[in-house]
Structure 1
Amino acid sequence: MKKRVVIFLSMLMAVGLLAGCGGGSTAGVTQAPGEQKTAETEVKDTTEQEKEAAPLNAVSKGDMIGVSLTSRSAERWLRDGNTLNEDLTAAGYQVDLQYADSKPEMQVQQIENMILKGCKVLIVAPVDNSALSSVLATAKENGIVVINYDLGIVGSSDIDYFVGFDNSKVGTMQAEAIIEKLGLDKGEEGPFYIELVAGSLAEANCYMYFEGAMEAFKPYMDAGKLVVKSGQTSIEQCTVVDWKLELLTARLDNLLTTYYSDGTLLDAVLSPSDYLSGPIATRLESFGYGSADMPMPVITGNDATESVCKMIATDEVYMSVFKDTRLLSGACLDIINALAEGREPEVTDVYTPDVYEIPTIFVPMESITKENLKEVVVDSGIFTEEQIFGTK
C-alpha cells in the first residue's frame, strides 16, 4: 500500500507569502559561453502544453544529468553533491553539478543552462520551494525527467519523482530527543526552559519540522512543564531568514540578555539543522554555558554533519538526525537506470507537497546521540573514528 505525506494547503499558502517569491516567471534561458543557442531555437513553448509522465528510455548511458543543489556553504550539500557526482559518473553518465549559493534566481539560471546543454534528467533540491515552476515546465516540455531531491518543491505539476527523507518526522524526532533527555516522558515536572529556532520559511521542510516538534511538545507546554520563556512560539518569530547566521546570533544574544539574565538557565534549544545547531552551541558557550554551573542545554540538529558529530562527541550538541545521503543518491540512480533500461522505476510511496501527487522513494533516517554515534556514523563508513573522536 502506498503511503501518503500531505502538507496542509494553508501551510503552503504561508510558504508562498512569507518567502516573497512567486514561481510564475523566470529570466530568459541563459546562453552558454561561446554558443549561439537561444531560448527560441532550443526551448519549446510550454504555455498551453499538457504535462506528460516521464517516458521510458528518456535517458541513456552516457547522457548528461543535471544536479542543482542549494548551496556549497553547507557541509551537508557538499557531501550530497560529491556522492551524486561519484555515483552517476561511475554508472556511466555525465554530470553537470551546480550549487546556487542560496539564490533562487541563480538556481533558475543554472537549470536553464542545463536545459540548453541537453541534460536528460534534472535532480533538483530547491533554494526557494515556490520559485521553479516555470523553468521546470520548460524542462518537461523538452522531455527532461525531473527528480525533486529531498527539499519539497510546490506549485509544479512537472515533477516526475521525489527522492528524499520523510521530513514530516524530523521535528518529531528532535522533540522526542529533548523530551526524553529532560525526563519529561518519565514524569519530571520541570519547569524546563526551552527556546525555539526555525529555518528559512522558503523551505516547506521547515514548516514540517516545526509543526512536528510543536505537536510533540504541546502536552508538556500546556501543563507548564516545558516553558518558552521568551514567549516566541510561532514559526514567524523563530525563523532564521535565508539561513543568515548573523541573524541567528543577534536573536540568541537578545534572548539570553532579555530573558535569561535573571539567572534562569536555558535547558533546551530546538534547532532544525546542524547548520544552525553548531553556531548555537558556540554562542551559548560564549555566555558561559558548558560549565559545571551552567550545563549545556539539550540542542538538536539534523543531517549529522561531521562538525556537529564532533560536537555530539564532546557533549556540546545533544543529538542530530542522521540522513545517509548515500541512500538518496542510490535511489536517484535506481530511477535513472530503470528509465535507461526501459523499465518502470520501483516506487512505493507518494509525496503530496500541494495538490500534485508525486511518485516517491523515501529512505530511512535515524536519531543519533553520543550513545550510538560511533555505531551509526563511524562503523557505517560515513566518517573515520579520527574525524569524529580525534582532535576537535
Structure 2
Amino acid sequence: MNINRRGFIGLGAVSAAAIGLVACGGDETPGATTAPTTATGGETSAPAGAGGKVGVSMPTQTSERWIADGEAVQQQLQDAGFEVDLQFANDDIPTQSQQVDQMITQGVKVLIIAAIDGTALAPQLDAAAAAGIKVISYDRLIRDSENVDFYVSFDNFKVGVAQGQSLIDGLAERFPDENPANIELFAGSLDDNNAHFFFSGAMSVLQPKIDAGEFVVQSEQTSIEQAAILRWQQETAQKRMEDLLTAHYGDKKVHGVLSAYDGLSRGIITALENGGYSGETFPIVTGQDAEIASVKLIVDGVQYSTIFKDTRLLAEQAVKAAVALLEGNEPEANDTETYDNGVKVVPSYLLDVTTVTDDNVVEALVDTGYWTQAEVDSGVAE
C-alpha cells in the first residue's frame, strides 16, 4: 500500500483543534467491515479518540478509489485525534443503511457518508439529527433530506467538462482527418448524483460538436438514461460496448468513447480489443479517478486520459468540516448555490481536478506522491 498516497497532509492545525473535543466510546459493530481505530501518524498524532468518535461509511471495496478514500479519511481523522469506525458496504444499500444505523447507536458524533444511493438514507439521517449527530456528505451528495450539514466533493461539473474536452483533444490528435468522428457515450450510475454532473458537464462541450455534425453517435444513445451503467460496473460497461459494436459498427469504426470512470474504461477497452481494435488507431477512451491499472494503460498508449481527484485533499476537507461542526461552527464553504439535494441547498467545499494523459503522468501522479514510478510501471498498487 502506498503510504504517501493515503497519508497525512497538512492537518497540524486540525489536530490541535480536535484534541479538546469530548471523547465518545462505544463497542465496534460485530461482523462489520471495520478498519482498525489505532491512531497512526507519528509526532503529528493526537491521542487516539481524544476528539470523539466519527463514523465513516464508504460504498464499496470493489473500487480502488473508494479504498483509497476510506484509508485517507481514517488516517487523517486519527491523526486529528478521533476514534474512527470505518465501514465499507460492498455496494449493497441495505448493508450501508444497517451500518449507519449501528454507528448512530454506538454514539458517533459525526457521520461522514459516501452513499451508494443518494436517496436511500433519509431514515438514517432523521435518526442522526434526532441524536444530535452531524452529517457530512462525502463526494456523493445525499438527496431528499434536510439533515445533511455539509458536502465535500470535487467540482463535478468541471470533471465532466474535462472528460469531454479530453475526448475532443484526443480525437483531434489521433484522428485529425475523420469528419465526422464516431463516438459513443458512457455515464455512471443514475442513483449517484455525481453521475448527472459528470454527464451534463461532458455534454456541455460535446453536444455542440454533435449538433454541428463533427461527431456522430451511431447508436443515437445520447441521454444519460441510455448511457448509464448501474453501480459503475466494469462488466456491464464491457457488455454494453460489445452490444454497440455488434449493432452499429459492422461497417464503421468507433473513434472515441466518453467514459465517466476508469473501471468503465477498462471494460470498454476490453470490448474494443476483443472487437479487433489495436495500435495507433485505437479509439480515444477517457476515464476518471487515476486508478493504477488505468494509469498503466495510459502510459502504454491504450487509454487516452483520466481525471485525477486527489483523495488526500478531499479527506483533509472532510476532517476540517468535522472539527468545525463539533465545535459548533460552520465549516468553510466555497459553494453555497450549486448542490440542491431536493430539500435544501447544501453548503459545499469543492476541490479542483487535473486531466492526466501520457504527457503529465509523472508530474501529476508520481511527483505528488499519489503513485510511485514502480507502481506506474507495473500497473499494480504496492
TM-score range, shorter chain: 0.7 to 0.9
Q: Contact (CA 8 Å) 2:292, 2:379: kept in 1 or not?
A: no
Q: Contact (CA 8 Å) 1:125, 1:150: kept in 2 or not?
A: yes
Match of 1:338?
324
Match of 1:82?
71
In structure 2, the CA distance between the partners of 1:348 and 1:225, relative to structure 1 (3 Å rule), is closer
Match of 2:299?
313
Q: CA deviation at 1:362?
A: 1.0
- Deviation sequence 1:309-332 (CA, Å, 0-9, x none): 111111111111110010111011
TM-score scaled by structure 1? 0.80
- Deviation sequence 1:109-141 (CA, Å, 0-9, x none): 110000011111000011001111111011011
Match of 2:20?
none
Q: Contact (CA 8 Å) 1:61, 1:340: kept in 2 or not?
A: no
Segments of structure 1 that go 5 or more residues without pairing to the other structure are 1-30, 35-59
* Helix, strand or coil at the partner of 2:279: coil
Match of 2:107?
118
* Helix, strand or coil at the partner of 1:130: coil
Q: CA deviation at 1:187?
A: 8.8
Comparing 375-384 and 188-197, the one that deviates more: 188-197
RMSD: 2.2
Match of 2:11?
none
| Amino acid paired to 2:320 | D
1:175-194 equivalences under 5 Å are 175-183=164-172, 190-194=179-183
Q: Supply the distance in 2 between the matched residues of 1:312 and 1:319 (Cα, whole angstroms).
A: 6
Percent pairwise identity:
40
Q: Supply the distance in 2 between the matched residues of 1:384 and 1:204 (Cα, whole angstroms).
A: 32
Q: Contact (CA 8 Å) 1:127, 1:203: kept in 2 or not?
A: yes
Q: Supply the distance in 2 between the matched residues of 1:153 and 1:103 (Cα, whole angstroms).
A: 16
Match of 2:315?
329
| Amino acid paired to 2:290 | A
1:281-300 equivalences under 5 Å are 281-292=269-280, 295-300=281-286
Equivalent of 2:372 in 354, 376, 384: 384
* Helix, strand or coil at the partner of 1:98: strand
- Deviation sequence 1:138-159 (CA, Å, 0-9, x none): 1011010100001111101001
- Deviation sequence 1:245-303 (CA, Å, 0-9, x none): 333222111111221121x22110111111211221122112222235xx211111011
Q: In the alignment, is residue 221 of structure 1 matched against residue 222 of structure 2? A: no
* Helix, strand or coil at the partner of 2:191: coil
Q: CA deviation at 1:230?
A: 1.3
Q: Supply the distance in 2 between the matched residues of 1:391 and 1:187 (Cα, whole angstroms).
A: 30
Q: Contact (CA 8 Å) 2:238, 2:264: kept in 1 or not?
A: no
Q: Supply the distance in 1 between the matched residues of 2:318 and 2:151 (Cα, whole angstroms).
A: 9
Equivalent of 1:244 in 233, 242, 248: 233
Q: Supply the distance in 1 between the matched residues of 2:254 and 2:89 (Cα, whole angstroms).
A: 36
Q: Contact (CA 8 Å) 1:272, 1:300: kept in 2 or not?
A: yes
Q: Supply the distance in 1 between the matched residues of 2:321 and 2:76 (Cα, whole angstroms).
A: 13
Q: CA deviation at 1:82?
A: 0.8
Q: Supply the distance in 2 between the matched residues of 1:245 and 1:231 (Cα, whole angstroms).
A: 22
Q: Supply the distance in 2 between the matched residues of 1:344 and 1:242 (Cα, whole angstroms).
A: 33
1:153-172 equivalences under 5 Å are 153-172=142-161
Match of 1:232?
221
Q: CA deviation at 1:334?
A: 1.2
- Deviation sequence 1:56-90 (CA, Å, 0-9, x none): xxxx8341110011111001000001111111112
Match of 2:288?
302
TM-score scaled by structure 2? 0.82
In structure 2, the CA distance between the partners of 1:121 and 1:220, relative to structure 1 (3 Å rule), is same
Equivalent of 1:147 in 132, 136, 156: 136
Aligned residues: 333
- Deviation sequence 1:177-196 (CA, Å, 0-9, x none): 11122229x99661101011
Q: Contact (CA 8 Å) 2:154, 2:351: kept in 1 or not?
A: yes
Q: CA deviation at 1:207?
A: 1.4
Q: In the alignment, is residue 275 of structure 1 matched against residue 275 of structure 2? A: no
Equivalent of 1:367 in 330, 355, 369: 355
Q: Supply the distance in 2 between the matched residues of 1:116 and 1:327 (Cα, whole angstroms).
A: 30
* Helix, strand or coil at the partner of 1:308: helix
Q: Contact (CA 8 Å) 1:300, 1:318: kept in 2 or not?
A: yes
Q: CA deviation at 1:340?
A: 4.5
Q: Supply the distance in 1 between the matched residues of 2:159 and 2:199 (Cα, whole angstroms).
A: 9
| Amino acid paired to 2:216 | V
In structure 2, the CA distance between the partners of 1:158 and 1:188, relative to structure 1 (3 Å rule), is farther
Match of 1:260?
249
Q: CA deviation at 1:241?
A: 2.2
Q: Supply the distance in 2 between the matched residues of 1:193 and 1:344 (Cα, whole angstroms).
A: 48
Q: Supply the distance in 2 between the matched residues of 1:308 and 1:245 (Cα, whole angstroms).
A: 12
Q: Supply the distance in 2 between the matched residues of 1:32 and 1:180 (Cα, whole angstroms).
A: 49
Segments of structure 2 that go 5 or more residues without pairing to the other structure are 1-27, 32-48
